[in-house]
Amino acid sequence: MRSLRISLLLLFACTAALAQTVRILVQSSPLAGFQYHAGAALWDELRIGDPLVLAREPDNPHDRNAVRVSWRGQQLGYLPRAENRAVAAEMDGGGRVEARIARLRSHKNPWQRVLIEVFVVL
């Protein structure tokens, strides 16, 4: 009975720690480069709220603060160059960041098609 009680206490402590995760919205921006990557082919599968994977590309020849945006293993584009510095610095410092699709809009201008939100996780 004592070991069961200890197991339940550990489970409760772990659950409480997970429940205290805080996500702070730090960026809401269009997806850059959508027209050059897999976006058009994946358009019908994308959904608002879908998680996105962010990956730093510090050796990118066009932008040393480049942050690649992927969905289910397929590259969709990048965080815009004018808005990626703070997220790149957070990632370089070991910070945890998450992203998701915030809006999808059928539009001829690729900068108007996908809006993404980036969160810092505390």
For the domain 22-121, what is the CATH code? 3.30.70.2330
The Cα 77–Cα 67 span in angstroms is 9
Taking residues 44-60, report their average pLDDT.
97
The Cα 18–Cα 106 span in angstroms is 37
Looking at the predicted structure, is the pLDDT value of residue 10 above 70? no
Determine the pLDDT at residue 9.
Answer: 52
- Token code pair at residue 6: 């200890």
Q: How many Cβ atoms sit within 10 Å of the Cβ of residue 13?
A: 10
Q: How many Cβ atoms sit within 10 Å of the Cβ of residue 1?
A: 5
Looking at the predicted structure, is the pLDDT value of residue 19 above 70? no
Q: How far is CA 16 from CA 10, 39, 44, 56, in A?
A: 10, 38, 38, 31
Determine the pLDDT at residue 62.
Answer: 94
Q: From 117, 91, 109, 100, select the one nearest 34 (Cα to Cα).
A: 109
Determine the pLDDT at residue 21.
Answer: 82
Looking at the predicted structure, is the pLDDT value of residue 18 above 80? no
Taking residues 8-24, report their average pLDDT.
64
Convert the pLDDT of each residue in 86-112 to its tens digit. Answer: 999 999 999 999 999 999 999 888 888
Residue 8's H or E segment, with its range, is: helix 2-19
27 and 16 in contact (C-beta within 8 Å)? Answer: no
Determine the pLDDT at residue 4.
Answer: 46
Taking residues 43-53, report their average pLDDT.
97
